[in-house]
Chain A
Amino acid sequence: MCAYSCTLGGERFQFPNLADVMAKATPARSGDALAGLIAESDVQRVAAQMVLADLPLKVFLEELLIPYEEDEVARLIVDSHDAEAFAPVSHMTVGQFRDWLLSDAATPTVLKALAPGLMPEMAAAVSKLMRSRDLIAVARKITVVTAFRSTLGLEGRIGSRLQPNHPADDLKGIVASTLDGLSYAVGDAVIGINPATDNIPTAMTLLSMLDDLRARYDIPTQSCVLTHVTNSIEIINRGAPLDLVFQSVAGTQAANEGFGVTLSMLKEAHEAALSLGRGTVGTNVMYFETGQGSALSADAHHGIDQQTLEARAYAVCRAYDPLIVNTVVGFIGPEYLYDGKEIIRAGLEDVFCGKLLGLPMGCDVCYTNHAEADQNDMDVLMTLLANARAQFLIGVPGADDIMLNYQSLSFHDIAYLRNSLGLKAAPEFEAWLTSMGLVNEAGHLLPSGQATERLLEAAQ
């Protein structure tokens, strides 16, 4: 008899293996359909969820989705599993784990201690049994504090990345967008540029420019040029002012190879960035990006659904003590997340799983023009994620990224979240904003006056 089966409404459902249960239990999305893994009917999906609910959490320790020998991410997950931290929930089924997470017994302190005991597959599994409100309620209970020049993740706060991209890496254009964002109180998590030309000299020029700007106004934040990890190592060797090492990562060794990255490279880069000692209030020096669908697009998914693979990417992230992790949720396109409904669900799953695994999880609330989504969907997702206490969200001028050709949140949207939900920027950044006369005591934007005059000098 098949180990993964149930009878539902008089019909017998069987699933050949654990990966199939996980895939069939996943709320519908186009990427799993493209991979041929999606549930064949809504009833089959519920049957898989019922099977999953009755599986012991321990099954994920016993039945690895990708063999230990084949995949360095699998080895990382197994070798870094903390059995002692896992002990309080080790007797539970996935369904019992969901009930416990939602209960008052799962306090912020308890959840924080649990994180190293959870494998990413456990987080993914329980998320498949949770509704949006469940994901938000549990994520909100989890606090992950990280710091470099600003302290992120404190209660009552939401961070923001200022993303001042330019299609030709024009320095004046980037400064203009940066000043625009600072004037809207954005940039406490990072000022981060995606370079149009991805090479070492360009990255060094951009880093120097951002560092000069930061030093001139004594802004308590960190900068980053989102270039390949090997470039960052070289940039450190050449002595440029690098705050954070960036890298896109995925949940399998093969998909990471598609990004040209291995765990040993990440370790080397982490150590190199730590050696610079540039942080003033903390030592979290890594910035990772992830996103559902990246493994399938690299043909490296091993027959595993994209949400489970995404959670596995978080195991990679947490090995290097990051300042921020960002799921670029709608960027990859409608063949992975088709519409606003799928993007919203995925954004909530990612922030929930990331936080449950102990990560400073943020989100690029975004979509492309060929997805069935618009800014209204982003309004919904950003409001939900702020309530789930995402570590940070991304803002670009007018929500329009003119280099990467997609839409994210605007600087105005970050201000909306802070005003309407009573959230503040990181405390060091908040103090700076106040001293510059950019915000009032409540953190609301002040009419631009002398403050922006001072900032504008930088653009001359």
Chain B
Amino acid sequence: MSDNTLFSTGLHRRDFLRLTAGLTALMGLPYAMHTKVAEAATADNRPPVIWLHFQECTGCSESLIRSGHPDPAALILDLISLDYHETLMIGSGHQAEKSLEDSMKANWGKYILVVEGAVPLAEDGIYCKVAGKKAVDSLKDAAEGAAAVICIGTCAAFGGVQAADPNPTQAVSASSLVKDKPVINIPGCPPSPYNLLATILYYLTFNKLPKLDKLGRPEFAYGRRIHEHCERRPHFDAGRFAEQFGDQGHSEGWCLFKLGCKGPVTFANCSVQRFNDVGVWPVSMGHPCIGCTEPDVMFHTSIYDKAQIHEITPPDFYPNANPAPRGKGADPVTTGVIGMVAGAAIAASAIMANKLPKGGDDEEDKA
């Protein structure tokens, strides 16, 4: 990869091809498709993206700009056309709002709307306002002209921490408010930035949405449980569990299920795609999965509660966690013969020792 600095200019050809090839693989497309993906990503009509922030922590944006390839500058300037993003854009105040209106007008019906954060409905939605406009109204206006709406993060997709009990602002997910547009949920707290990039590129390449599950999540990223591809899975199958943080099993890297790991009930690709471009993810660091991509797990159950497991035994095609004994051990004849030879050697030494004189001469130890 080229340098990952914020200020590097542009995206090198090789890095770009590597990125599109990686994203093609992530989407589960045939390898030959990566030229098509690359073409879509370099087309002149790069998708205008309008990014709205509501009740959230900006963690999803942080996650996105922490992706190393492409680096943030290349992502925002070259790959997509990020027309409005409250934390990343240069303009501020009225200038910023004007660029939002301009972009919406210019790209009406074409732009992709990315929503980050939940929308409060209590007391007519006064708990979240940007430029004096209520979140619920901003969303309604922006969604009207959008080609598709991507709800990034668990807050936008399922309500998140705002919607947790007792939910004083009556926050609801952004996806539940958009009725007449295609909505893609990319939950996670934060989600992997590559899941967002892959979704956008899929849309650009095929002009349609990727296959979604019943919770609106792209199946290529959220089709399988964390548990299925976890590196600690063999420990689960072998019954080796960390019982508490810092114990023997925990330091040996055993399964974190008993510490509350939600991997068995959480659909996400964290155990495969991982984070920060260095192959880490919570479970690899010794913390159980908190189930942040599920609407009913994170913010609705305790992090340290055990998940309910429905499929305890591993599939047949998994390698056996308790391998059968291999290699040839001792057999009676060999043991007997070796024992006899060793016994004879010891007996011979004993006889020799016995034959040697017990006392010695006095002339010694002048060395």
Q: Do the two chains belong together in a single complex?
A: no
Q: Which residues of B contact A (CB under 8 A)?
A: none
Q: Which residues of A contact B (CB under 8 A)?
A: none
